[in-house]
Each structure stands twice: as structure tokens, then as C-alpha cells.
Amino acid sequence: MHDTKLKEAIEFVADLIAGSKRCVVFTGAGISTESGIPDFRSPGGIWSKYNPTEFTYQKFLASKENRRLRWQMIKETTAMFQAQPNTAHKAIAELENISRLDCVITQNIDNLHQAAGNKCVIELHGNALWIYCLDCDAHFPRSEIQARLEAGEEIPDCSHCGGMLKLATVSFGEPMPVKETEEAAQRSSRADVFIVIGSSLVVHPAAMMPVYAKQAGGTLVIINMSPTPHDKYADVIIRMKAGEVIPAIVERVKQKIAQ
Ligand code: NAD
Ligand code: ZN
């Protein structure tokens, strides 16, 4: 992006946020690439190693072999979730501190918004740091189950009731969490400023949130490295790395509200 144009865009977005009543930030895998977690569609990412169609919810429930493979994948990817929040996550947490954020709606499962300090985080696709029992709903930290996997268990079961364990993320083919999806849709429709960061906006129904915001009269900002199918609804598009542009925007917001 041309420097003058970028400066204007940063100024415009900072003005929007400073004057907002209900600013909603909506994030996808792109905000965490600078923390070292590969996004969904990049070559060399986890999905070029594992075939996503093998990991549907239905197949997980139906076949022991599939569960074995899934747990093997979980075992191999645990280290990835020890990532730390980057400057973009931290800047968004700062927006909450200065009362310029209604909530973060995220498609990410990496817990990095909470790690950065955000309190109001709506997770549309669950959280990869937890494992839970499909029978008794007991929850276990992933690190605890990881230790069992590394000790040789191939398909760990619930230590309370012997039930089937599953990663607390929404799998392909699994219904979306009702409460989170409804709350996200509601807050999107009420947002006066809605900022998409690092999402290709192709995974539904999550990708509808910016459309709800726009339809209800909100101003839509998209900060993403590549084009999305919803760019036509955006009032501003910034094609830059989140970690470079979000801190600059939040810095300007702070200066503006201090004036
Ligand atoms: P996606 O991979 O489809 O799209 C990511 C987008 O971010 C791309 O358009 C890319 O151009 C952009 N991008 C990459 N790095 C960026 C950066 N530094 N700054 C700005 N933009 C950047 O991701 P999605 O839309 O979130 O959909 C993927 C699905 O996979 C989601 O449902 C999510 O649950 C899951 N997922 C989550 C994680 C995570 O938790 N970190 C990682 C991979 C996949
Ligand atoms: Zn149980």
C-alpha cells in the first residue's frame, strides 16, 4: 500500500474507532500467523499434511481408526498452541482497556486474544487448549491429555467416566455452538464499527458477521493480506500485515481520545 494512502486509511479507521459506541473486532487465522501459527490455506500448513475431509465430526464418532488418526494429529500439533500473542492481539486488548471495544468475535481456536488480556471474546469455533468428555462434559487441559498421548495412549478416554474425549473445537460437519453464534450475530448487527482482521471470509456462518454489521448500518473495515468475497461491502480495505497496522491504528486512537 502507498504510504500516504496507508496513513489516510489509518487516520480514517482511528477516527471511526475513537468515535464509536460499539466497535466489534472479528478475527481469523491471519491475525495469528505472526505468532507462528500457520493459517488455514497456506502451503506447508497443517492441512497440506492432513486431509480435512478425514476429520469430520461424523467420522470421528463413527470410526476408531479415525479417532486414532485425529489424536495423532492433536499430539503432533500441541506445540503450535504454545504460541504467544503478537502486537496485533495486544493492541486489540488495549482497545478494550480504553473502552473502545464491544467484543472480539474470533474464528480462531488458539486462545491468543484471552492470552493478550481481552475479557469479552466470543469463540465461534471453540478452543484448542481444552479437551472435553462427550458423555459427562468434564474438561481437561490439553497439556494433561498430551502427557497421556506421549506416554503411549492412542485414544485417551475420560478419566472420570470412561467416555469419549474430543478436542473442544468445532470439527468439519459439527454444528456451530448455538449461544456463541447467536450472540456474535446480535453484536455484529448492533456494531457501529466492524473490523475484520486476517480472515479470508469463506467459512460460513462466521463469514456472515460482517454482512450483518453492514446491513444494519455499521461501517465495515477489512484488514487482510488477500481479497475476500465480502470486499464489496467494505468502507475501507487495508492490505497489510495485522501486526504492522493494528498497533499503529490503536496508537492513533489513544492520541485522539486523549485530546
Ligand atoms: P484463512 O486461513 O481462511 O484466511 C486467513 C486470511 O488471513 C488470508 O486471507 C490471509 O491472506 C490473511 N493473512 C495471513 N496472514 C496475515 C497477516 N499477518 N495480516 C493480515 N492478514 C493475514 O482463515 P479463516 O478465515 O480464519 O478461516 C480458517 C478456519 O480455520 C477458521 O474457521 C479457524 O477456526 C481455523 N483456523 C484457526 C487457526 C488459529 O486458531 N490460529 C489457524 C488455522 C485455522
Ligand atoms: Zn466423562
**What integer pLDDT is reported at residue 52 of this predicted model?**
67
More confident call, 129 vs 1 = 129
222 C-beta neighbours (distance < 10 Å), count: 24
Confidence check: pLDDT of 38 > 90: no
Atom of ligand 1 nearest to the CA of 32: 41
Q: What is the mean pLDDT of residues 120-130?
A: 98
The 3-state DSSP class for residue 168 equals: strand
- 5: helix, strand or coil: helix
49 pLDDT more than 90: no
pLDDT of residue 7: 94
Please give the average per-residue pLDDT across 210-221, as a whole number. Answer: 98
32, exposed or middle or buried, with CB in 10 Å at 0-12, 13-18, 19+? buried
Ligand nearest to the CA of 164: 2
Tell me the three state secondary structure of residue 161: coil
Question: Which ligand 1 atom sits closest to the C-alpha of 202?
Answer: 25
Taking all residues of the chain, what is their mean pLDDT, rounded to a whole number?
95
Query: Quick check: 93 pLDDT over 70?
Result: yes
- Tell me the DSSP string of 62-125: H-HHHHHHHHHHHHHHGGGGG----HHHHHHHHHHHTT--SEEEE---S-HHHHHT-S-EEESS
Distance between CA atoms of residues 74 and 201, nearest Å:
25
Is any atom of ligand 1 closer than 6 Å to the C-beta of 107?
Answer: yes
Concerning whether 89 is annotated as a catalytic residue, the answer is no
- All three cell numbers of 109, joined, read 481456536
The sign one gets for the Cα dihedral 162, 163, 167, 172 is positive
Mean pLDDT confidence for 27-55: 80
Q: Cα separation of 52 and 42, whole Å?
A: 14
pLDDT at 47: 65
- The arithmetic mean of pLDDT across residues 11-15, rounded, is 98
Question: Can you give the pTM of this predicted structure?
Answer: 0.95
Cα(249)–Cα(244) distance, integer angstroms: 9
Q: Check residues 103 and 3 and name the one with the higher pLDDT.
A: 103
The 10s digit of each residue's pLDDT in 152-199 is 999 999 999 999 999 999 999 999 999 999 999 999 999 999 999 999
Position of cell 469430520?
56
Q: What is the pLDDT of residue 3?
A: 77
Decide: 20 in ligand 1 pocket, CB within 6 A: no
Interval 205-209 mean pLDDT:
96
Residue 81: partners with Cβ closer than 8 Å, 6 or more residues away:
37, 110, 111, 128, 129, 142
pLDDT level of residue 4 (50, 70, 90 thresholds): confident
Residue 55's pLDDT is what?
85
Share of the chain above pLDDT 70, in %: 95
Pair 3, 172: CB distance under 8 Å: no
Q: What is the pLDDT of residues 225-244, one digit of tens each?
A: 999 999 999 999 999 999 99
In sequence order, what are the residues at sequence separation of 6 or more whose Cβ sits closer than 8 angstroms to the Cβ of residue 21?
A: 192
For ligand 1, whether the C-beta of 30 sits within 6 Å is: yes
The residue annotated as part of the active site, out of 2, 89, 113, 125, is 125
Does residue 123's CB lie within 6 angstroms of at least one atom of ligand 1?
A: no
24: which 3 cell numbers?
466489534
| pLDDT of 53 above 90 | no
| 257 Cβ contact list (under 8 Å, min separation 6) | 18, 98, 100
Q: Please report the pLDDT score of residue 259 as a whole number.
A: 83
